[in-house]
């Protein structure tokens, strides 16, 4: 018997709107033959207080108690997984990503955006990298791997599971990163993004190895970079730096607090432009570096890590964004372009825009919004789950 979760009266409203999360406070009681049947990651059925079936999903200890897989009464078997991965693949085929010789890396599964909450799958050439953010998805990882093999066939040579750092700590699953199928030489591999080349090591790099969600925004930097002196802060592996120089920037400086990151940025610049690229790197805290840059730069990129991973720290995070943007806006050359981002899910695009507005007022500069940016289409947003719109960006012209 699949455990049955019964909701408190009136708490089914969000499910009627097809929102894929059920919070712990909405649960009235649980029916199960054994207590172990609804351990973390278990598949559960969800019912209204009156006993009407609502959904099937993965149970999890914490604020979000159930992540919904389907609103239909259906078997979650291998055929189900095959279909979900096939649909996700078809979306990327529609986006011209699955057979594009100029772009060999993309996101195949983006959690709730692909009706697979708790799962991320990124493609790097012939390798798929899985990250599970829920115990339920981790338990299903072999079925997910089999579905990937079914959909991709011989085009896939390896499937790597990189879930050890993304799973809920309290689940105590003892996850160890490794290959679910196939193998690799454990080295970095070259992938293409809009024709630019990048070294990616999915075993050792951050996230799944590369930040795929800035692909289209990097292309926009390329459009604006010609003849400009560019500062790329929080550069990680230098994605924006490569695009800037490819777009004709006169000089590019990459800044990151991690010495390994700036070394990777330099490696990617050399990969694309050789040893004599007009590029410098600085291993320093970006916020500190921005204290006194003068008016050297006329294109600045601010792409920090998430300042607010939870609403509890939102106030401090917004002060951080304000201070960071004020420093850049106060020192960028007249006629300069500022690309500024927040990847904090807890920060709405309205709040981010208001904070950047405050930073502009502090800097005392005339500022125009040229573009309002978001994540690319291979990081889709489920229309019933607006929380999935996590990446916000503004492109500003500063007089």
For 238, the token pair is: 């230098």
- In 3-state terms the chain splits into helix, strand, coil percentages (rounded to 5) of 35, 25, 40
Q: Report the SS3 class of residue 285.
A: coil
CA distance linking residue 296 with residue 315, whole number of Å:
31
Residues acting as catalytic residues = 343
How many H helices and E strands in the chain?
10, 20
CA distance linking residue 306 with residue 29, whole number of Å:
36
Query: Looking at 93-201, which runs of residues are DSSP E strands?
Result: 105-110, 119-124, 127-132, 158-161, 178-181, 189-193, 196-200
CA distance linking residue 331 with residue 373, whole number of Å:
23
Please give the order of strands across the beta sheet that includes 367-373: 279-283, 251-256, 229-233, 299-302, 336-342, 392-398, 367-373
Q: Could you tell me which residues come within 8 angstroms of residue 344 by beta carbon, excluding any fewer than 6 positions away?
A: 306, 307, 308, 309, 317, 390
* 229-263: burial string, b at 16+ Cβ within 10 Å, e else: bbbbbbbbbbbbbbbbbbbebebbbbbbbeeebbe
For 369, the token pair is: 């919004």
For 8, the token pair is: 């408190």
């Amino acid at each position: 018997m699949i455990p049955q979760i019964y909701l408190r009266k009136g708490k089914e409203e969000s499910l009627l709107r097809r929102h894929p999360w059920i919070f712990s406070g909405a649960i009235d009681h649980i029916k199960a033959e054994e207590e172990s049947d609804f351990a973390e990651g278990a598949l559960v059925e969800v019912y209204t207080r009156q006993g009407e079936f609502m959904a099937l999903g993965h149970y999890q200890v914490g604020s979000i108690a159930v992540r919904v897989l389907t609103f239909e009464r259906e078997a979650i078997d291998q055929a189900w997984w095959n279909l979900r991965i096939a649909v996700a693949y078809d979306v990327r085929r529609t986006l011209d990503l699955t057979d594009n010789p100029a772009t060999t890396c993309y996101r195949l599964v983006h959690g709730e955006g692909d009706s697979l909450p708790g799962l991320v799958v990124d493609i790097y050439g012939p390798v798929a990298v899985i990250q599970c953010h829920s115990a339920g998805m981790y338990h299903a990882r072999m079925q997910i791997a089999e579905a990937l093999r079914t959909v991709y066939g011989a085009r896939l040579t390896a499937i790597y599971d990189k879930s050890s750092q993304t799973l809920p700590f309290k689940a105590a699953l003892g996850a160890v990163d490794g290959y679910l199928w196939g193998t690799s030489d454990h080295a970095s591999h070259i992938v293409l993004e809009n024709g630019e080349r990048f070294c990616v090591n999915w075993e050792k790099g951050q996230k799944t190895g590369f930040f795929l969600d800035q692909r289209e925004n990097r292309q926009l930097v390329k459009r604006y970079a010609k003849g400009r002196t560019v500062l790329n802060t929080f550069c990680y592996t230098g994605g924006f730096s490569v695009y800037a120089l490819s777009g004709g920037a006169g000089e590019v400086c990459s800044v990151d607090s991690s010495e390994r990151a700036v070394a990777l940025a330099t490696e990617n610049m050399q990969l694309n432009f050789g040893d004599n690229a007009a590029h410098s790197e600085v291993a320093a805290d970006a916020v500190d570096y921005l204290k006194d840059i003068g008016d050297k730069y006329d294109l600045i990129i601010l792409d920090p890590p998430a300042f607010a991973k939870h609403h509890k720290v939102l106030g401090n995070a917004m002060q951080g964004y304000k201070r960071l943007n004020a420093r850049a806006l106060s020192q960028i050359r007249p006629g300069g372009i500022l690309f500024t981002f927040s990847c904090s899910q807890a920060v709405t695009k309205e709040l981010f825009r208001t904070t950047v507005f405050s930073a502009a007022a502090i800097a005392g500069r005339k500022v125009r919004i040229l573009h309002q940016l978001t994540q690319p289409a291979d990081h889709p947003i489920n229309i019933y789950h607006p929380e999935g719109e996590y990446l916000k960006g503004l492109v500003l012209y500063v007089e």
